[in-house]
């Protein structure tokens, strides 16, 4: 594929995506590379609805194949919260630190052996011609009682990855790209692109 636009302004996410799609896409642009790129109102009830809405708007605006994801943290003891509200859990303009503080407050009375959670990623690929595909990834873990690690972004410092026994923020980018919810969804997307060639 020659050119793909990713409907995000998150630089951390773009770095991960470029690493995950090496060799399959010649050029990857993001929302910040365009003037007046539309800000999608994420009002869907599911990750899939939000991802599709963002990808559709990006494909229409750019005239290029578009990729969008809606990712979030699902905590069993919190009835699936923060879920689709993961990026704005502590409010509309909340930063990662504020969201993490709210999560810790909500999990304060949840015993450690009941803090099961998962990161979920739903990836939507949409072309200007109307092709639409969905790819999903999920990684299981637990919510820690305090942040650990310096890497990653979002809830990574609070998410203990079951298969590593370390927080997502303690993993190298290579380790994260082996197991993360986003990596799983992108592995499925890569296979789709490879089959198209």
pTM of the model: 0.86
**Inter-helix orientation angle 11-20/181-196, to 10°:** 50
pLDDT exceeds 70 at position 100 = yes
Structure confidence at residue 197 (pLDDT): 66
- Decide if 156 is catalytic: no
Query: What CATH number does residue 172 fall under?
Result: 3.90.950.10
Decide if pLDDT at 181 tops 80: yes
pLDDT of the residue at 143: 98
Tens-digit pLDDT profile for residues 41-84: 889 999 999 999 999 999 999 999 999 999 999 999 999 999 99
What's the domain range around 86? 3-196
Annotated catalytic residue within 70, 76, 156, 162: 70
In the chain, the number of structural domains is 1
Q: Is the peptide bond before 12 cis (omega within 30 degrees of 0)?
A: no
**pLDDT tens for each residue of 122-166:** 999 999 999 999 999 999 999 999 999 998 889 999 999 999 999
């Amino acid at each position: 594929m020659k050119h793909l636009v990713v409907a995000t302004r998150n630089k951390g996410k773009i770095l991960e995506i470029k690493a995950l799609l090496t060799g399959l896409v010649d050029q990857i642009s993001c929302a910040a590379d365009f003037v007046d790129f539309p800000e999608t109102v994420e009002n869907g009830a599911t990750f899939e609805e939000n991802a599709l809405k963002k990808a559709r708007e990006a494909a229409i605006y750019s005239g290029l194949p578009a990729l969008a994801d809606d990712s979030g943290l699902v905590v069993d003891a919190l009835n699936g919260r923060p879920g689709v509200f993961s990026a704005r859990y502590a409010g509309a303009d909340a930063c990662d630190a504020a969201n993490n503080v709210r999560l810790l407050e909500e999990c304060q009375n949840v015993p450690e052996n009941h803090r099961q959670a998962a990161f979920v990623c739903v990836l939507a690929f949409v072309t200007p011609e109307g092709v639409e595909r969905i790819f999903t990834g999920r990684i299981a873990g637990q919510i820690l009682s305090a942040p650990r690690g310096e890497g990653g972004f979002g809830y990574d410092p609070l998410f203990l990855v079951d298969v590593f026994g370390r927080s997502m923020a303690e993993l190298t980018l290579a380790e994260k790209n082996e197991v993360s919810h986003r990596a799983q969804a992108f592995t499925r997307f890569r296979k789709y692109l490879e089959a198209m060639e």
